[in-house]
Amino acid sequence: MKLRTFVQETFRHDYTCPLCGREKFDETPFCKRCETLFAEPRLFVCPKCGRRSVSEGLCSDCKHLPPAFTHCRSFADYEPPLSYAVIKMKFHNQPFLAAPLAQKLVDVWQKEGLAADGVCFIPLHEKRLKKRGYNQSELLARHFSEATGVPIVCALTKKKESKEQRTLSREARKKNLSNCFSADKKAVCGKTLLLIDDVITTGATLDEAAATLKKAGAVNVYCLAVCATPDPALKNLQKPKKSFLSRLFKRKGTK
């Protein structure tokens, strides 16, 4: 083999984990160590919103306020280091992380064995899009579409900017988001759609967006998110050792 070809073959792939910066030895998106930390098994998952739950069956939020989507699935809990990956992608101008994270969505989708006519994403309000420069959910959806062949449907628009809702319950978020999306009827009528977002917290955003799509004529709306915040009732359960993880990621330059 010529030296040039050898060098090209050897360095064809990026052998650095985009999350912790450690060397990795294959083509998987993240290093083995990060992958192990992602894959904490979830004993009970709500069959509707896909969040880790305290027991079998619907979580308290879905029992109380059934969402408009058919169901939502997520790759893992919103816990470090996966949460760091999402934060870096979203707030620290690292949109390239959308590609490896979208691969996780593809894995979940293929495991579920479902089909959709198109893939939509949660839109950002124009102002926020200008400020950030990209929409992380759109990037995830575009990488997902490329990998699966499910066409992108840019059907949703965010009409009004919603208030900060990190501390709100699903009910309060639902009120806050009421009528904030609009959907292109022609693009969605009679279709089964997949709706993609980065994180599912209470499920209110996906719920409102799915309701908008259904009002516009969509038959079925499945949802997929990279990660999901566990049911608040699980707060007392053991969590990953954050102090260790914080040290690790601080050292690697996470702000």
Residues found near Zn ion in the complex (CB under 5 A): 17, 19-20, 31, 34, 46, 48-49, 59, 62
Q: How far is the CB of 32 from Zn ion (least distance, A)?
A: 8
Nearer to Zn ion, 20 or 124 (CB): 20
SS (H, E, C) 238-252: CCCCHHHHHHHHHHC
Q: Closest CB to Zn ion among 73 and 158? A: 73
- CB nearer to Zn ion: give 62 or 199: 62
What percent of the chain is helix, strand and coil (3-state, nearest 5)?
Answer: 40, 15, 45
Q: Rounded to a whole number, what is the largest CA-CA distance in the chain?
A: 66
Tell me how far, at minimum, the Cβ of 172 lies from Zn ion, in Å: 17
Q: Quote the CA–CA distance of 134 and 128 in Å, as a whole number.
A: 9
CB of 23 to Zn ion, least distance (A): 9
In whole angstroms, the minimum distance from the beta carbon of 28 to Zn ion comes to 10
Alpha helix locations (H) across 57-203?
Answer: 60-64, 82-91, 98-112, 126-132, 136-148, 170-177, 185-188
Measured from the CB atom, the residue of 135 and 229 that comes closer to Zn ion is 229
